[in-house]
Amino acid sequence: MTLEVVREFGRIDLSDSEVRSVRRLTERSRSESLRKALRWTGPRQIQVRSHVGVLRLGTREIEVRPKLPLGPPGAGRAAAEQRSLLAMLHGAGMLPPLHSAGRVGLVSSSLLDAFISAFVRSLTTELERGVEHRYHVETVNAAAIRGRIRIADDLRANYGLHHRCVQDRDLFGTDTPLNRVLKASCRLLAHVSRAAESRTGLARALDLLDDVADVEPSALVTNWPVLGRGTERFEFLLAFAKLLFLDQSPSLSGGSDSSFCLLFPMERVFESFIGRLLRRSLSLHGYEVQLQSGGFLLRDESERPKLGLRPDIVIKRDGQTVAVVDTKWKDLARAGGISGVASSDASQLLAYGHRWRCADTVLLYPGGGGDCGARLRSFVAPEEWALSIRFANLGRDLSVLAEREALAGEMASDLRLAVDGASMAI
């Protein structure tokens, strides 16, 4: 197995067999996002756009890393970048955690190994705490009547027979939609896992789920489980499994032509990571942070709402909106600095400010430390309205709790400066 590393928007040259593998992945995938992520730039060349993760084509494994390097500069940055990416994916709710020595994420020989290790460790921990049990209905054609008779089905199946009866039985067991998804995830990952520890963990999980039925991925996606009070602990595992099944073709083929894809949209990763981090930190200071809060800008003559708006982050205090934040996964420094801000983004923030009656709106970009923000005023909006350009410093080891707390504190202070000029420690 050969391992290669490219960045977002990097171009990947393919062999004839790899071209066929990529086409099969995109044609059979249930994810529209995947088809947009893999862009053909030539007959035998693709470009991965705005996504990070792993693309395996036969014996070739390609890691796609963020276009903006994560982690502190200097020696050991590659390992810190892997840990930081794992921490961002976990913080965004897309990957189970890996805890070691106060860090989220253990450096592995490959990113795929790290993804699988995170899933396996968390899954075996939760299953050993207890596999989900619940009542489910099973339709059987049996002699003993121990359920509700299905009269019409019984007449069709057993007309003239008196020793059998079609019936619905309530059974208590582990064959639940959630466990079926987890078992199918283990089987899928067993095809691609190389690390001995992960393969052992997957075998252990499959043993614990031995009584659960094997179901085709297409059937799982159409009957996706809903978590309840007793199963919230599987939230990260279920989110990761959903990405697995959306990105894959209906079945993984064996042999040297097998292909596998696990890609995460970086725009959503950055948005969710920042939003959840701000919600945890600002809630300690009396703020309410709403993520993807919806509203409408206009209404027609019949008072029906028109033109829906959905900012990434709305921050309120005492019922009043104090800041509206929109995240942009864009290297603003390479785009020309402040002059690289798209006019459509600025206009969008003006609409947000008008709708939520908020004078302070913020465009938040990723940065590496040392980036200078700006505060811009409008010619057309009320004089007090301002658009602030801010940067989240990702040039640090985000797997370290102290570094994540420092990032939260910097952003909290920046947002308070955008509101009334007073910094806020966290």
Q: Does the pLDDT at position 266 exceed 90? A: yes
Residues 6+ away with beta carbon under 8 Å from 86: 95, 98, 104, 105, 114, 118, 399
What's this model's pTM, rounded to 2 decimal places? 0.82
**48: closest CA among 61, 27, 69, 34?**
34
Q: Read off the pLDDT band of 58 (50, 70, 90).
A: confident
61 in the same domain as 187: yes
126 or 255, which is more confident? 126
Q: Is residue 218 part of a domain?
A: yes
**Are 182 and 152 members of one domain?**
no
Judge whether 54 and 260 are in contact, CB under 8 Å: yes
> Are both 122 and 157 inside the same structural domain?
no
If asked whether residues 91 and 228 sit together in one domain, one would say: yes
How is the chain split among helix, strand and coil, in percent rounded to 5?
A: 40, 25, 35
Q: Is residue 23 part of a domain?
A: yes
Judgement on whether residues 248 and 369 belong to the same structural domain of the protein: no
pLDDT digits (tens, 9 = 90+) for 168-215: 988 888 989 999 999 999 998 998 888 898 999 999 999 999 999 998
* 43 is a domain residue: yes
Weakest-pLDDT range from 67-81, 327-341, 406-420: 406-420
Is 247's pLDDT higher than 90?
no
Residue 273 inside a domain? The answer is: no
Same domain (yes/no): 373, 385: yes
Of 411, 426, 417, 389, nearest to 274 (Cα)? 411
* 155 shares its domain with 190: no
Alpha helices in 130-195 (DSSP H): 151-158, 177-192
The answer on pLDDT for 225 being more than 60 is: yes
In a domain, 305, yes or no: yes
The per-residue pLDDT for 184 is 93
CATH number for position 401: 3.40.1350
The number of folded domains in the chain is 3
Residue 121 confidence (pLDDT) above 60: yes
Identity (one letter) of the amino acid at 153? D
Q: Rounded to a whole number, what is the distance in angstroms from the first to the last CA of the chain?
A: 46
Residues 258 and 361 in one domain: no
Q: In percent, how much of the chain has pLDDT > 90?
A: 37
Q: Which two tokens stand for residue 226?
A: 């809903």
pLDDT at 371 over 70: no
Instruction: Render pLDDT for 123-161 as a digit per residue (tens, 0 to 9).
Output: 999 999 999 998 878 888 998 888 899 999 998 999 888
My answer on whether 161 and 198 are in the same domain is no
Q: Which residue type, as a one-letter code, is found at position 213?
A: A
Same domain, 150 and 203: no
| 420 band by pLDDT with thresholds 50, 70 and 90 | very low
Domain range for 86: 2-131+177-267
Is residue 69 domain-shared with residue 213, that is, in the same domain?
A: yes
